[in-house]
Amino acid sequence: MNTPKTFARMITLSFISVYIMLSITFLRPFFGGALGYNLIAGLVLSAASTPIFFYLESLCRKYSLRIWGTITLGLFAGIFLGKALETIYESLLLSAAAGNEIAPYLLTYPKTLIYLFSIHLAVSLILVYQEELHLSIPFIRFHKTTGDEKNIILDEHALGDPRIFDFLSTGILNNKVIIPTFITKDLKRKLELAQSHSGGSIQRIIAAIDKIKEIKNLNVKENETDFSDLTDIRKKIHRLAKVTGSNILTAECSKISKEPDEVEYIGINHIANALKNIMSTGESIEIKVQRYGKEPKQGVGYLEDGTMVVINNGGSFVGEVIETRVISVKQTSAGRIIFTNALVEEEEPSYAYESYEPHETV
C-alpha cells in the first residue's frame, strides 16, 4: 500500500465530508431549521458521500493522465469557442431586436446550449485527433518519447500469426505494445459480414487480441485514434506509426522495407529466421527424406524448426532417415535453405545441386 497517497486521499475526503456536514448543520435546510436534526442529517450525508467519492476516484483511475490532460485542453478550447459563438449570437440577437427589449430566456438558455455544444465538440475532436495535434501545433505532444525507444504497433498480420502470443510472452519487448482499436472494429465488422469459411480465422484473431491483453509484464495499450479520411487499414496503421513515432510488427514479408518517412517494419519471419540454427559447410546432420526434389535424385527434408534441407542423391531414400553433409546454406525470401549431399555409396559421383525454387515447396 502506498502510505503517503492513502494519507493524502483520507485527508482530502475528510475535508470534503466535514464541509458537507458543517454546510448542512449551519444552513439548516431540513426539518424546519432544527439544529439537532440538521446535525444528524449532515453526519449521515457526509458518511454516505465517502463511498461515492471512493467509487468515482476508482472510476477515474481507469483512464490515463494523458486522457485527463486531453479532456482539460478540450474544456478550455470549448470555453473559448463558446465565448466566440456567444458574442456572435448576442450581436445577431441585438441586431434583430432593433432596440426592443430582449426576453431573458432568449439570452439564458441559448447561451447554455452554446457552451455545452462547444465543450462537447472541442473535447470530442481533441480526443479523436490527439495524435495528430502535434503536427499542427509542434510543441504539443500527448505522449512521452525517451531516447531512441519506440513503441511497437501490431498490425493485422502480426495479430493473425499463431506465433505472436509466444513471442510477446518471452518478455523481449520492454516497450509499449500498441493495438489500434480500428483493427478490432474492422475485424468485428468483417465477422458480421463473413461467410462460415472465413469467420473462424477472424474469431481467432479477436481471441488472440484478448489473450495478448492478459500477458503479464507486457505494457499493452489500445490506441483509439482513427483516421476518418482513410479506409485502408494498412494506410491507417502506417499513419498511426508515423504520428506516434512507433515501429510496426508484421508477419507480411512484402512490407519489410525501409519507408521514406522512416516508419520501420519489423518482420516476425525475419526474427524467426535469425534465431534458426546456422549449419556450417562440412557439418553432418541426420534428416528424414520426406519427398522428392526438383532435380533428378534430389530429396527434400525439414529440420525441427521448419528449415528446408535439399539432399542431393537423396531421392531414393524417401521416408528414411539418412546422414547428410552440408555443402552450402542459401538465404531466400521464403527463409533459409540448406543444401546437403547424402552420405551413401553411389555408383556415380554426387553433384551439389543448388537449384531450387521455394515457391514450389509444400
- How much is the pLDDT for 80? 92
pLDDT at 348 over 50: no
pLDDT tens-digit profile of 203-239?
888 888 888 888 887 888 888 888 877 888 888 888 8
pLDDT at 246 over 80: yes
What is the rounded average pLDDT for all residues in the chain? 78
266 confidence band (pLDDT: 50, 70, 90):
confident
Give 142 or 110, the one with higher predicted confidence. Answer: 110
- How much is the pLDDT for 3? 64
For 181-184, the CB contacts below 8 A with 24+ separation are 181/222, 181/223, 181/224, 181/226, 182/225, 182/226, 182/227, 182/233, 182/236, 183/155, 183/156, 183/159, 183/233, 183/237, 184/209, 184/222
256 confidence band (pLDDT: 50, 70, 90):
low
Query: Mean pLDDT across the stretch 247-273?
Result: 73
- How much is the pLDDT for 84? 92
Beta-strand runs (E) in 140-264 = 152-154, 177-180, 220-223, 247-250
Q: What percent of the chain has pLDDT over 90?
A: 6
- How much is the pLDDT for 324? 92
Of the CA atoms within 13 Å of residue 223, those in its CB half-sphere come to 29
pLDDT at 137 over 90: no
Predicted TM-score (pTM) of the model is 0.48
Give every CB contact of residue 129 below 8 A, 6+ residues apart in sequence: 225
- How much is the pLDDT for 46? 84
Query: Mean pLDDT across the stretch 163-174?
Result: 81
Give every CB contact of residue 115 below 8 A, 6+ residues apart in sequence: 78, 79, 82, 86
DSSP characters over 120-142: HHHHHHHHHSTTTHHHHSTT--S
336 confidence band (pLDDT: 50, 70, 90):
confident
